[in-house]
Structure formats: structure tokens, C-alpha cells
């Protein structure tokens, strides 16, 4: 590996793993080659700590970059034309074999004109000064003993105009001091460190951040009584409803707290500090400052969001609830990034307030960032692709460790849902979870060990689901058992156990799912996996026949009860699904063979031949039906029974 690239990876990983350096994964780094012809630079949207020799960087030929910055036509172009042109030229200057669609950092042209090794970060300790009205004066006093002074860069639009400003200022600096600046403080932006080696750049970065941090107020570690799990869950459901009602978007709600957040939410007077946008990261990733929530009232929160949107502001995704903490709504993947940005923002605001007040972005600056394609690209990379009819929905599937339940869990994840896999067999559920994660690396799942016949177990399971995802949209009751045998030989204990799992289990799961959905207040879906045997009885199957018929009738009653809350309830009656089934075990197959007077190996072909389509039914066929019923495509369907059996039982 090229030494310059090795140096870049080393310094980037070191910086990216230091929480005092990086918040929200922001920042970029570069190292130039010894001959000065090329520059290795972090790729846009890549977190510094995840850079590796194989990905997360681009190599740029510097001559085209220098030429671009001398092009007299670019400054005359309107921003919406110029910025994409600059991005394309930077991409064209790349001289490597990358095929993953990655782009060099949007500040690559700026790095090109600085030292051999450059580190650009947005540390909270630096942000306190560069976002304060009297921050520059404070920095001048703080660093008055530097051999060469730092360079203060007045606020400029990120991208091309910032690069032009820094080039102009560094040229003047170099003429005066006969060297390029090593420390650059960018107003309303962050910190640049520029030296002749990665090691010295990293060392100087640490010194500057430590120096800035020395005079700042740190959050209190004494923050009163912590929030209870019930308070957190109630707040999550309330905020999810408000976010949904205002945006129409499904998503998770994730709770965070730390010393900074706990200190801030203790006092109502702190909400005055939540005015104005500090940085591009705060605007792009958290849609501006967090919204202060004094009382948990979903309708009032929704009204506040709508009022903000009407004024041209973005709907917030971060909510600071008095006395509780931070709640982040939206994509689960983005929640940790938003948390880091909010925590950093609170620290900056608290300290900047003591330095003449917060200096926020003005409307023109915010509008530029909102329309800047480069930031939209960076956010899209961080958030990951979103697709599927159930994007952002939260689902729980019982019996998800095997058979139809497992297929349904996989199908829901493929449709974009976040899935809690509930099963008494935790090992099987974990294996199913791994299968989902291997196929869909960006998916979000949770394993819930749950005995559906135990009410306290079920209640605890739903508490975990709300704790993990912040709400619930879909319940699929798929756990079941089918003890086969003639009526005269059937043991009463088998009858009772079958009904405990197939009826009591469905009842308990539906009970607590309905409670959660009603409390949340944005509707929901309950899908009951019954069977064709619930419509057309099968021989030697008394417990199964009774339970499956009962499931359908229970579901019809639930549909009548829950419709007023926007909760739809439907049943699916699958035919025989052999794939991965625990029901179709060797013993059960022997019973079926005896029932029809055939050999065990003939049982499955025999059952397939009983369908009109003469095709085997697979788990994905059932999953597809579940996805349909839980989607908006079925928004007017409730209390109904969908038969997926290849044409064996016809509902009349």
C-alpha cells in the first residue's frame, strides 16, 4: 500500500475514534504524495473511523484541481449550477480504480491548497467558540502565545466559495508569515489543522482541542432522578404519533440521555438556547435544533411542527422532553448520528451563551445548505437506501424462528419493515435474525424470547419492542402447533396445550399489540395466520381444526372492536407449507401417511396434488400476502380472510 494512503488511514482512524474530535461522523482528512502530484482524501459520507485500505477514500490528481480554482467562469455561475459542476470536476480528477460510486470530500479543492497533511473536524470544544458572537476574541486571548497566529476564516457558503475564501486568506497569510497557516478556525463551521506530516497534524489537533476545552463549562454529573422505563415508552409513543401526524412518515423513536442532555432538560429556561441553526450538520442531519417539549401532548407537538413547517422550517427529528431526555424520530440508522449532533449542539449553545450569545446561520446561509446537492448526497449515504411497501414500519412476528413465521419475518424485512422476531426458541430466532442481516445488511431486527401463553412474558416482550423501536405497526400471529391423531385416541393434555398456543397465545399477543397501537394513536395491522383447516376441517386434526377456526372468528371480532382506532385485522389461511416447518416433522408425516394409506415419502407430493395449481406453496408466498395486508394497498380491507393454498379451499 502507498505510504501516503497508509498515513491517511492511520490518522483518519485515530481521529474518528476520538469522541472529543468527532460528532456525528463528520470531518475529513487528506495526505499528499511525496511528489506533490496527488492527494489521498476521505470519501464523502464516509466516517473517519471506518476508513480502510480498501474503501472510504479517493486519490485525486492535483493539477486539474488547481486549474479548476483558477477558472474565471465558475464564480459567475449561479450556485445551483456551479456546485454540481465543481463536484463533477473533482470526481473527474480522481485517479484510482474505485467502482463503488464514492466521491471525494466536498472540500477536496480546499485541502489541495493547504499543507501536506490536513485534518478538518467539528469538535464541540471548537464549536463553542466559532459559533459564539465573541468567540474570535476569546480564541485570540487563548492562543496569544502561538509562534504563528491562527487564521480566522469568516463564515462562507460551504463548497466552492469557502475554498476560494480560504485560498485567498492563506495566500495573504503566507505572504506575511512565509508559511501556510497550521491552525484555521472557521466561523460557524469548525477547525482545520494543516502540517507537513500526519503525526504532527494529529498532535496539533489534540493540543488545540484540549486548549479550547480548558475554559469551557462541562455538564453536571448530578442530574436528579432518572426517567423510568414506562415514562420513556409513553414519551416514545407520543412523539412517534406527533412525528407521523406531521410528516406522514413511519419510523422509529430512540431515546438517549447523557450528562449534557440530562443537565439541559432539567430546566425549562434552557429552551431559549434552542434558537437558530449552528452548522450544516445540524441542519442536514437533525433538521435544525431539537424541539423543546414541556408536556407530552401529541396534538400540541404536531401543531408546533406544522407551524414550523408553515414558516419554511424543516420538521424536527430531535425532541428534548423536559425531565426525561432526547428522543430521535425517523430512520433507526440515523438516530446515533442525530444524538451526537444534538449533544454537541447543546454543549456549544450552553458555552457560546456565555461568550456574547450564539451566532447562528442566517436565512440565506440556511437556504444555500438546504439546496446544496453535496450535503443531500452525504445524508443519503449515511441514511442508507429506503424502499419497500412497509418502509419504516415496526413489526413483531411470533414463531419467527422457523417455518411460516420465519418466512414472514424475512418477507417483512425485505419490504422495509423493522422486525422483532418473537419465539420461545431463542436460538432459532437468532439464526433467523442472522439470515435477515446477511441478506439485508442495513435492516434492523430484534430477538424477543417469548412464551406466547404466558401473559407476563408477552407483556415484557412488548415493552422490549417499544424500548427497541419506539412503537408498533404490525403484529403477525404465526406461532402454532398441530397435534394430529384420531378423536378416540387424542389425549386431553394435547388438546389443552394446542389451544393454549393457538388461541390463548394469539389472544395475548393481540391484546398487548392493540394496547400499544391504541396508545400510539396512528393505527396498525394485526394479521392472524390461520389455516385452510380453519375453513375446511381435516381428518384426525381435532385440536388444529378447532383452534384455526377459532382464530378466524377471534380476528373478525377484533376487527369490529379495533376499527375505531384505525387498526385493521385480517386472517390468512395458508395451505400446506412444508418448507422449514416444525409441524411437518417425520412423526406428523407418518400419521398423514397412515390416514391416506400411502407411504411417508408420498405424503408431500400427495398434498401438493390436491391443489388446483398443482404447485408447492412456499413461505414467501405467505409473506407476500402478509406484506399486502399490512400495506396501504389494503387500507380498506379488514375483518377478511385471505386463502393462500393454491386453490384447495374456496371461500363463499
Q: Are residues 515 and 488 in the same domain?
A: yes
Check whether 509 has a pLDDT greater than 80. Answer: yes
Give the residue from 353, 377, 404 where a domain finishes. 353
Q: At what angle do helices 198-214 and 135-142 cross, to 10 degrees?
A: 110
Q: Are the C-beta atoms of 504 and 449 separated by less than 8 Å?
A: no
Give mean pLDDT, residues 433-438.
95
- Minimum mean pLDDT range among 140-154, 186-200, 216-230, 516-530: 216-230
| Number of structural domains the chain divides into | 3
Q: Is the pLDDT of residue 481 over 90?
A: no
Looking at the structure, do residues 256 and 172 belong to the same domain, yes or no?
no
Of residues 638 and 366, the one with the higher pLDDT is: 638
pLDDT tens string 611-645: 888 888 898 999 999 999 999 999 999 999 999 98
DSSP 615: -
Asked whether residue 158 is domain-assigned, the answer is yes
234 and 203 share one domain: no
Distance between CA atoms of residues 586 and 4, nearest Å? 62
Domain annotation covers residue 650: no
CB 350 within 8 A of CB 273: yes
State which of 321, 353, 385 marks the end of a domain. Answer: 353
Looking at 353, 384, 410, the residue that finishes a domain is: 353
Write the CATH number for 336.
Answer: 3.40.225.10
Q: Is residue 383 part of a domain?
A: no
Same domain, 167 and 253: no
Task: Report which of residues 8 and 101 the model is more confident about.
Answer: 8
**241/167 same-domain check:** no
Rg (CA), the chain: 30
In this structure, are 209 and 237 located in the same domain? no
Residue 98 lies in a domain: yes
Q: Quote the pLDDT of residue 258.
A: 94
Question: Is residue 580's pLDDT more than 80?
Answer: no
Are 546 and 631 part of one and the same domain?
yes
- Residue 205 within a domain: yes
**487-503 confidence digits (pLDDT tens):** 888 889 889 998 999 99
* Nine-digit cell string for 356: 456574547
Average pLDDT, the chain: 91
Instruction: Kindly tell me if the per-residue pLDDT of 377 is higher than 70.
Output: no
- Count Cβ neighbours within 10 Å for each residue of 315-342 and write b for 16 or more, e otherwise: bbbbbbbbebbbbbbbbbebbebbbbbb
What pLDDT score was predicted for residue 380?
Answer: 53
Least confident of 429-433, 444-448, 518-522, 585-589: 585-589
Name the β-bridge partners of 524.
567
- The highest-confidence range among 25-29, 68-72, 282-286, by mean pLDDT, is 68-72
Cα–Cα distance between 391 and 216 in angstroms, integer? Answer: 43
Indicate left, alpha or beta for 91 from its phi (over 0: left) and psi (-120 to 50: alpha).
Answer: alpha
Determine the average pLDDT of the residues in 579-588.
Answer: 78
Q: What percent of the chain has pLDDT over 70?
A: 97
Whether 606 is covered by a domain: the verdict is no
Local confidence band at 222 (pLDDT 50, 70, 90 cut-offs) = confident
Mean pLDDT score, 87-108: 89
CATH number at residue 425: 3.40.50.720
Residues 104 and 21 in one domain: yes
Residues 20 and 139 in one domain: yes
In this prediction the pTM is 0.87
Q: What is the pLDDT of residue 243?
A: 96
Identify the band that residue 387 occupies on the pLDDT scale cut at 50, 70 and 90. Answer: low
Query: Percent of the chain having pLDDT more than 90?
Result: 71
Q: Do both 57 and 200 map to the same domain?
A: yes
What pLDDT does 533 receive?
A: 86
pLDDT of residue 373: 55
Mean per-residue pLDDT, 54-66:
94
Whether 295 and 417 map to the same domain: the answer is no
What pLDDT does residue 375 have?
53
Query: Highest mean pLDDT range out of 12-21, 408-417, 578-587?
Result: 408-417
- 194, β-bridge pairs: 118
**pLDDT at residue 385, rounded to an integer:** 52
Is residue 601 in some structural domain? no
Q: Is the pLDDT of residue 299 over 80?
A: yes
Q: Sort strands 183-186 and 190-195 into parallel, antiparallel or unpaired.
A: antiparallel
Q: How many helices (H) and strands (E) does the chain have?
A: 24, 18
Structural domain containing residue 269: 229-353
Catalytic residue set: 544
pLDDT digits (tens, 9 = 90+) for 531-575: 988 898 888 888 889 999 999 999 999 999 999 999 999 999 998
Distance CA 431, CA 47 (A): 30
pLDDT at residue 221, as a whole number:
79
In a domain, 507, yes or no: yes
Q: Are residues 422 and 285 in the same domain?
A: no
Instruction: Name the burial class of residue 78, with classes exposed (0-12), middle (13-18) and buried (19+) by CB atoms within 10 angstroms of its CB.
Output: exposed
Residue 272 has pLDDT above 90, yes or no: yes
Place of cell 395466520: 529
Quote the pLDDT of residue 442: 84
Indicate the pLDDT class of residue 391, thresholds 50, 70 and 90: very high
Question: Does residue 223 surpass a pLDDT of 80?
Answer: no
pLDDT at 124 exceeding the cut of 90:
yes
Q: What is the number of other CB atoms lying within 10 angstroms of the CB of residue 81?
A: 11
Say yes or no to pLDDT of 149 above 80: yes
Say whether pLDDT at 454 is over 90. Answer: yes
Amino acid at each position: 500500500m502507498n505510504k501516503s494512503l497508509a498515513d491517511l488511514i492511520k490518522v483518519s482512524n485515530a481521529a474518528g475514534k476520538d469522541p472529543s474530535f468527532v460528532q456525528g461522523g463528520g470531518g475529513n482528512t487528506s495526505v499528499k504524495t511525496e511528489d506533490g502530484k496527488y492527494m489521498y482524501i476521505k470519501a464523502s459520507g464516509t466516517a473517519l473511523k471506518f476508513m480502510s485500505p480498501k474503501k472510504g477514500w479517493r486519490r485525486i490528481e492535483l493539477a486539474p484541481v488547481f486549474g479548476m480554482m483558477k477558472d474565471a467562469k465558475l464564480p459567475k455561475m449561479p450556485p445551483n449550477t456551479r456546485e454540481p459542476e465543481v463536484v463533477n470536476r473533482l470526481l473527474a480528477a480522481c485517479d484510482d480504480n474505485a467502482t463503488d460510486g464514492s466521491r471525494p470530500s466536498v472540500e477536496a479543492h480546499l485541502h489541495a491548497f493547504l499543507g501536506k497533511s490536513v485534518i478538518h473536524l467539528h469538535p464541540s470544544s471548537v464549536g463553542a467558540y466559532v459559533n459564539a458572537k465573541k468567540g474570535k476574541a476569546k480564541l485570540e486571548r487563548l492562543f496569544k502565545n502561538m509562534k504563528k497566529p491562527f487564521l480566522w476564516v469568516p463564515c462562507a457558503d460551504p463548497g466552492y466559495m469557502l475554498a476560494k475564501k480560504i485560498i485567498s486568506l492563506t495566500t495573504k497569510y503566507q505572504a506575511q508569515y512565509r508559511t501556510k497557516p497550521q491552525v484555521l478556525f472557521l466561523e460557524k463551521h469548525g477547525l482545520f489543522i494543516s502540517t507537513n506530516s500526519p503525526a504532527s497534524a494529529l498532535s496539533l489537533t489534540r493540543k488545540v482541542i484540549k486548549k479550547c476545552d480548558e475554559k469551557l463549562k462541562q455538564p453536571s454529573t448530578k442530574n436528579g432522578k432518572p426517567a423510568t422505563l414506562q415514562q420513556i415508552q409513553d414519551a416514545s409513543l407520543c412523539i412517534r404519533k406527533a412525528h407521523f401526524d406531521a410528516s406522514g412518515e413511519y419510523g422509529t423513536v430512540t431515546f438517549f440521555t447523557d450528562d449534557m442532555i440530562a443537565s439541559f432538560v432539567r430546566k425549562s429556561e434552557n429552551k431559549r438556547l434552542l434558537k437558530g441553526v449552528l452548522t450544516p450538520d445540524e441542519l442536514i442531519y437533525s433538521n435544525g435544533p431539537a424541539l423543546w417539549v414541556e408536556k407530552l401532548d401529541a396534538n400540541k407537538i404536531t401543531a408546533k411542527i406544522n407551524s414550523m413547517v408553515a414558516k419554511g422550517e424543516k420538521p424536527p427529528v430531535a425532541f428534548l422532553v423536559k425531565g426525561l431526555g432526547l428522543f430521535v424520530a425517523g430512520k433507526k440508522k440515523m438516530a446515533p448520528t442525530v444524538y451526537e449532533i444534538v449533544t454537541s449542539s447543546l454543549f456549544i449553545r450552553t458555552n457560546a451563551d456565555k461568550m456574547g450569545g450564539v451566532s447562528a446561520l442566517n436565512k440565506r446561509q440556511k437556504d444555500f445548505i438546504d439546496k446544496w446537492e453535496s450535503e443531500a448526497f452525504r445524508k443519503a449515504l449515511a441514511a442508507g437506501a429506503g424502499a419497500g411497501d412497509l418502509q419504516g414500519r415496526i413489526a413483531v412476528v411470533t414463531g419467527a424462528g422457523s417455518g411460516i413465521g420465519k418466512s414472514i419475518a424475512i418477507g417483512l424485512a425485505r419490504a422495509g419493515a423493522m422486525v422483532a422476531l418473537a419465539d420461545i426458541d431463542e436460538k432459532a430466532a437468532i439464526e433467523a435474525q442472522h439470515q435477515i442481516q446477511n441478506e439485508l445488511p442495513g435492516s434492523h431486527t430484534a430477538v424477543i424470547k417469548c412464551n406466547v401463553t404466558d401473559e407476563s412474558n408477552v407483556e415484557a416482550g412488548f415493552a422490549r419492542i417499544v424500548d427497541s423501536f419506539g412503537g408498533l405497526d404490525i403484529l403477525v400471529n404465526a406461532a402454532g402447533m398441530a397435534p394430529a391423531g384420531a378423536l378416540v385416541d387424542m389425549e386431553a393434555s394435547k388438546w389443552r396445550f394446542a389451544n393454549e398456543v393457538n388461541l390463548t397465545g394469539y389472544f395475548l399477543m393481540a391484546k398487548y399489540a392493540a394496547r400499544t397501537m391504541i396508545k400510539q394513536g396512528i393505527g396498525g395491522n394485526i394479521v392472524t395466520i390461520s389455516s385452510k383447516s380453519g375453513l375446511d376441517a381435516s381428518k384426525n386434526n381435532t385440536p388444529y381444526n378447532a383452534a384455526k377456526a377459532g382464530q378466524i372468528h377471534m380476528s373478525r371480532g377484533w376487527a369490529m372492536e379495533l376499527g375505531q382506532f384505525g387498526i385493521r385485522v385480517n386472517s390468512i389461511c395458508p395451505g400446506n407449507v412444508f418448507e422449514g416447518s416444525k409441524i411437518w416433522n417425520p412423526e406428523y408425516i407418518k400419521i398423514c401417511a397412515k390416514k391416506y394409506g400411502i407411504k411417508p415419502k408420498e405424503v408431500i407430493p400427495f398434498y401438493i396434488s390436491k391443489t388446483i395449481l398443482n404447485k408447492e406453496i412456499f413461505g414467501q408466498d405467505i409473506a407476500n400476502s402478509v406484506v399486502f395486508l399490512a400495506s396501504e394497498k389494503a387500507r380498506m380491507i379488514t375483518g377478511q380472510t385471505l386463502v393462500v393454498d393454491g386453490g384447495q379451499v374456496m371461500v363463499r
